Amino acid sequence: MMGSVGEVHAQRMRFDEALALRSGASLAGYDLVYETYGELNAARDNAVLVCHALNASHHVAGTYADEPENVGWWDNLIGPGKPLDTERFFVIGVNNLGSCFGSTGPRTIRPGTDEPYGPDFPVITVEDWVHSQARFADRLGIERFAAVLGGSLGGMQALAWSFLYPERIANAVVIATAAHLSAQNIAFDEVARRAIITDPDFHGGHFYRHGVVPRRGLQVARMIGHITYLSDDVMAEKFGRALRSGDYSFSFDVDFEIESYLRYQAEKFSSYYDANTYLLITRALDYFDPSREHGGDLAAALAATRANFLVASFTTDWRFAPQRSREIVEALLANHRNVTYAEINAAHGHDAFLLDDPQYHGLLRAYFERIVAGLGSGR
Amino acid sequence: MMGSVGEVHAQRMRFDEALALRSGASLAGYDLVYETYGELNAARDNAVLVCHALNASHHVAGTYADEPENVGWWDNLIGPGKPLDTERFFVIGVNNLGSCFGSTGPRTIRPGTDEPYGPDFPVITVEDWVHSQARFADRLGIERFAAVLGGSLGGMQALAWSFLYPERIANAVVIATAAHLSAQNIAFDEVARRAIITDPDFHGGHFYRHGVVPRRGLQVARMIGHITYLSDDVMAEKFGRALRSGDYSFSFDVDFEIESYLRYQAEKFSSYYDANTYLLITRALDYFDPSREHGGDLAAALAATRANFLVASFTTDWRFAPQRSREIVEALLANHRNVTYAEINAAHGHDAFLLDDPQYHGLLRAYFERIVAGLGSGR
């Protein structure tokens, strides 16, 4: 029987030791907000870290007592009897530094001031996140993860874990991602950032003190993002050229269902997402490129890895196309790593990694069952 | 010997009779600005109309005496000895209504007022443009075009000519276009429009009276457009992840060459392009859908056509992919039209239709030579 993890509670962990960042800056002290599902076993070897992508958080599964509608973003995957089975695994979701969902970020009051960090929050990289997560694992008493798992930007974190902490990760589950953004990927990020930064309500990132939010810029940024998350095909199927009122208005109002959908999603997003966080997270995406310090040689960058890998991509994902996953697989194979690769036939584009396609979830279930079979062997 | 048409002069034609528009509105009187190259023959059957796309105009070939750098946008195609040979053909470029390059549009002073039309300029459709061009042809004494030619939005006009005025067009040359936009195409247009409309300097389209231009919105719109004009591959080849300064700045300034390129192009564009025109032209794209009045049956919509067709697409064009051209070809073949179709192997994406790829230009040359062979036969 598959079930929900039920009511969950976010927890907060304080770190007083400064975190040195890749930029050369450092973050004085900080909080990480997280959730856990299932129980850490006696051998402490059944922990799975779930890394999140742009618009997600530590709330990965279950619901909150006071918000029964607020279901975790990967609840279809994680729970008792689900592919990532919380009766076997101790699953952890942690909110990334720089985010706007509870961990220290641009909205946090900057120590020694009475104002939020805002634009002075340091630029954070994928590697910085992984280092902060490793400290977090230390505090939880987890020396080695059974798996680190993520899709999209989360997949980059799982990949970074595998070469930054090779001894601390038994399996890396790397879904719908790339070893670095393409020029086109960066271009979309840059347009989104320009939309936010040039919104007069952005005030150079100090919008908090003006009591406003760069809503227009955030909306445009979100619309651009949304287009890239969906395949052309699924957009055609879901919306096509359907009209809201059955006829053209001969105006620039909403005529097409797709316009209505994008505006609605964008408005919702701009009501809660932090503009400075959007900039930080797109920059983390842009900057991720482990091959860079190895003269562009990804295989060299991944030589330090020791984990087993599951790499998965989706046929209609044009944001991080299967070819981008194959580059990762080839670099791992060049290092004789143990890699399972699946290219999943799915209609939904990049968003497919969040959906419960049976082939996809079957694959994850089988992979985690294989991990279960090995649990305790390292004791 | 291939040469330039040399120095050219824009001309202006005044129409006092109102033009009834598809929206139900009508345009009182209007001007069309145009250029011609070559000579109309005695049989008046060698005229070729070139229809333009979003960011183009009547200035199709040659240069201006006072602006020797201002070369027409399809100069590589049109001139003495070029694929569209001005020693054989009388080639006409006309600026569309609603544009910002000379023909009546939002920047034009509205009759009876001392203010530009601005947002009160009526929404124009592809079909409206074709009707205005037919009147224009009447005044030039051209009963039937040897060909109407266009790429992208220009290709939609060429296609519309073929079913609106079947007796007045011997050949339709329809390049890198679609019989209607997909949901994804509309989505990109909508984001661009939102960027413009929500720019506070847009002032509901009345920015002229405030002495400002919604530059930020126009820039974001242009950046989005630009990304869709280029293939992922050519962006990777041209820019890749190349950095301007050799290292990350750990900021949101320009780090990557692609960012620099997009910003530069966008700034240039926003310095001359009219925001109301951008809205009008993207809406014309959205609304074009000849199948709509035929229950979605494109073959039925094209049943009235009589022309011969050259349809061409480019393998890496993801804005209007080859599949979209094939839909047109299939609908024409269902009507037993004479169709030449070419899917051209080109790296540059949608922009390829403006470039002088030898295979592409060879195809156009051969097609126009075939037209030459038939000239005079209809006398």
The answer to whether residue A152 is catalytic is yes
Task: Report B:313-332 residues touching A (Cβ under 8 A).
Answer: 318
Q: Quick one: which H or E segment has residue B258?
A: helix B257-272
State the pLDDT at residue A179: 98
Q: Give the 3-state secondary structure of residue B260.
A: helix
Q: Is A23 in CB contact (< 8 Å) with chain B?
A: yes
Cβ contact B236–A286 (<8 Å): no
For residues B95 and B33, the answer to whether their CB atoms sit within 8 Å is yes
Say if A194 is an interface residue toward chain B (CB within 8 Å): yes
Minimal Cα–Cα distance from B288 to chain A, Å?
Answer: 11
Question: How many of the other CB atoms lie within 10 Å of CB of B144?
Answer: 15
Position B379 confidence tier, pLDDT thresholds 50, 70, 90: very low
Query: In chain A, which stretches have pLDDT less than 50?
Result: 378-379
Query: Which chain A residues contact residue B318 at CB under 8 A?
Result: 318
Kindly report, residue by residue over B300-327, the tens digit of the pLDDT. 999 999 999 999 999 999 999 999 999 9
Residue A263: list chain B partners with CB under 8 A. Answer: 190, 194
Residue type, A2: M
Q: What is the 3-state secondary structure (H, E, C) of chain A?
A: CCCCCCECCCEEEEECCCEECCCCCEECCEEEEEEEECCCCCCCCCEEEEECCCCCCCCCCCEECCECCCCCCCCCCEECCCCEECCCCEEEEECCCCCCCCCCCCCCECCCCCCECHHHCCCCCHHHHHHHHHHHHHHHCCCCECEEEEECHHHHHHHHHHHHCHHHECEEEEECCCCCCCHHHHHHHHHHHHHHHCCHHHHHHCHHHHCCCCHHHHHHHHHHHHHHHCCHHHHHHHCCCCECCCCCCCCCCCCEHHHHHHHHHHHHHHHHCCHHHHHHHHHHHHHCCHHHHHCCCHHHHCCCCCCEEEEEEECCCCCCCHHHHHHHHHHHHHCCCCEEEEEECCCCHHHHHHCCCHHHHHHHHHHHHHHHHHCCCCC
What's the confidence (pLDDT) of residue A1?
A: 61
Tell me whether strands A308-314 and B147-151 are parallel, antiparallel or unpaired: unpaired
Q: Does B267 touch chain A (CB under 8 A)?
A: no
Position B303: which residue type?
A
pLDDT for A14: 98
Query: pLDDT tens-digit profile of A261-288?
Result: 999 999 999 999 999 999 999 999 999 9
Q: Is A197 on the interface with B (CB under 8 A)?
A: yes
Q: Is the confidence at residue B25, as pLDDT, over 80?
A: yes
Mutate to test the interface with B, among A128, A224, A249, A324 (most CBs of B within 10 A): A224
Q: Does the structure show a pLDDT above 80 at B225?
A: yes
pLDDT score at A243: 96
Query: A259 touching B, CB under 8 A?
Result: yes
* Spatial distance between the Cα atoms of A251 and A228, rounded to a whole number of angstroms: 26
CA–CA gap between residue B217 and residue B101 (Å, rounded): 20
Q: What is the pLDDT of residues A145-166, one digit of tens each?
A: 999 999 999 999 999 999 999 9
pLDDT at position A202 is: 98
Q: What percent of chain B has pLDDT over 90?
A: 96
Q: How far apart are CA B371 and CA B31, in angstroms?
A: 31
Q: Which of A216, A236, A258 lies at the smallest CB-CB distance from B198?
A: A216
Average pLDDT over residues B329-344: 98
Taking residue A296's Cβ as centre, other Cβ atoms within 10 Å add up to: 13
Tokens 């011969």 found at: B308
Task: Give the integer Cα–Cα distance in Å for B278 and B217.
Answer: 11
Distance from CA of A171 to the nearest CA of B (A): 29
Among the partner residues B186, B235, B292, nearest to A258 by beta-carbon distance: B186
Closest-CA residue of A relative to B279 is A252
pLDDT exceeds 80 at position B119? yes
Token representation of residue A219? 């909306």
Residues of A in contact with B226 (CB under 8 A): 187
Cβ of B204 under 8 Å from any chain A Cβ?
Answer: no
> Is the CB of A220 less than 8 angstroms away from the CB of B194?
yes
Say whether B259 and A23 touch across the interface (CB within 8 A).
no
In this prediction, residue B136 carries a pLDDT of: 98
Residue from the list A24, A191, A238 with its beta carbon closest to the beta carbon of B224? A191
Instruction: Please give the pLDDT value at position A377.
Output: 59
SS3 content of chain B, % helix, strand, coil (to 5): 40, 15, 40
Top residue of A27, A218, A259, A288 to mutate, by most chain B CBs within 10 Å, is A259
Per-residue confidence band for B375, with pLDDT thresholds at 50, 70 and 90: confident
B122 contacts A223? CB cut-off 8 A: no
Check residue B1 and give its pLDDT: 61
Q: Which of A311, A310, A312 is nearest to A352 (CA)?
A: A312
Q: Give the E-state strand segments of B52-196 in sequence order.
A: 78-79, 84-85, 90-94, 147-151, 171-175
pLDDT at residue A379, rounded to an integer:
39
Residues of B in contact with A226 (CB under 8 A): 187
Is residue B138 annotated as part of the catalytic site, yes or no? no
d(CA A246, CA B126): 20
* Under 8 Å between Cβ of A364 and A84: yes
Chain B residues with CB-CB distance to A219 below 8 A: 194, 198
Catalytic annotation on B152? yes
pTM equals 0.96
Residue A169 CB contacts under 8 Å (≥ 6 apart), including other chains: A144, A145, A147, A148, A161, A162, A306, A307
Whether B60 shows a pLDDT value over 90: the answer reads: yes
Contacts of B322 in chain A (CB under 8 A): none
A 283-302 → B contacts, CB under 8 A: 283, 286-287, 289, 292
Give pLDDT, residue A375: 84
Residue A61 contacts B, CB cutoff 8 Å = no
